[in-house]
Amino acid sequence: MAERRVTIGWPEGLHARPASVFVRAAAAVGVPVTIAKAGGAPVNAASMLGLLALGAEGGEEVVLSCDAPGADAALERLAKLVEQGLDELPVA
């Protein structure tokens, strides 16, 4: 199981536009990724509803996990997106 701990770079947290950006990115990496708050239950990172219910705020730490082949590369890209609060998934 590969994991990345990242701090959310979007000031508004995983709501509104950043939530859409993140959900689309999680679906685009092609492997199933989960996201959790520290110590919390993980939810499907490609689920808008799961993400909204997670309610992660800007500056909060979240854990991205994946155990599929290619997990490291996928997590790397998602981690960068979240940490830097980008508008779209970075290439690598």
Partner 1 sequence: MEKMLRGVGVSHGVAIGQVRHMGTAVLEPTANQVPAEEAGREQARAQQAVDAVAADLIARGNLAGGEAQAVLEAQALMAQDPELAADVARRIAVGSSAERAVYDAFAAYRALLASAGEYLAGRVADLDDVRNRIVARLMGVPMPGVPDSDEPYVLLARDLAPADTALLDPALVLGFVTEEGGPTSHSAILARAMGVPAVVALPGATELAEGTTVAVDGSSGEVLVEPSAERQEELRRVAAERKAALAASSGPGRTSDGHLVPLLANVGGPGDVTAAVAAGAEGVGLFRTEFLFLDDSAQAPSEDTQTAAYRQVLGAFPEGRVVVRVLDAGADKPLAFLSPADEPNPALGVRGLRTLLDHPEVLATQLRALARAAEGLPVHLEVMAPMVADRADARAFADACREAGLHAKFGAMVEIPSAALRARSILAEVEFLSLGTNDLAQYTFAADRQVGALARLQDPWQPALLDLVAAAAQAAREAGKGCGVCGEAASDPLLACVLTGLGVTSLSMGSASIPYVRGALARFTLDQCRRAAEAARAADSAEGARAAAQQVLSGE
CA distance linking residue 76 with residue 92, whole number of Å: 7
Q: Between 24 and 43, how does the x/- string for binding to partner 1 read (CB under 8 A)?
A: x--x---------------x
Which listed residue (3, 9, 13, 15) is catalytic? 15
Answer whether 15's CB lies under 8 Å from 91's CB.
no
3, 15, 65, 83: which one binds partner 1 (CB under 8 A): 15
Residues numbered 51 to 70 that lie near partner 1 (CB under 8 A) are: 52-53, 55
Tell me if residue 15 is catalytic: yes
CA distance linking residue 38 with residue 90, whole number of Å: 24
Answer whether 8's CB lies under 8 Å from 51's CB.
no
5, 7, 11, 17: which one binds partner 1 (CB under 8 A): 17
CA distance linking residue 50 with residue 52, whole number of Å: 6
Footprint of partner 1 (CB under 8 A): 15-17, 19-20, 23-24, 27, 43-44, 46-50, 52-53, 55
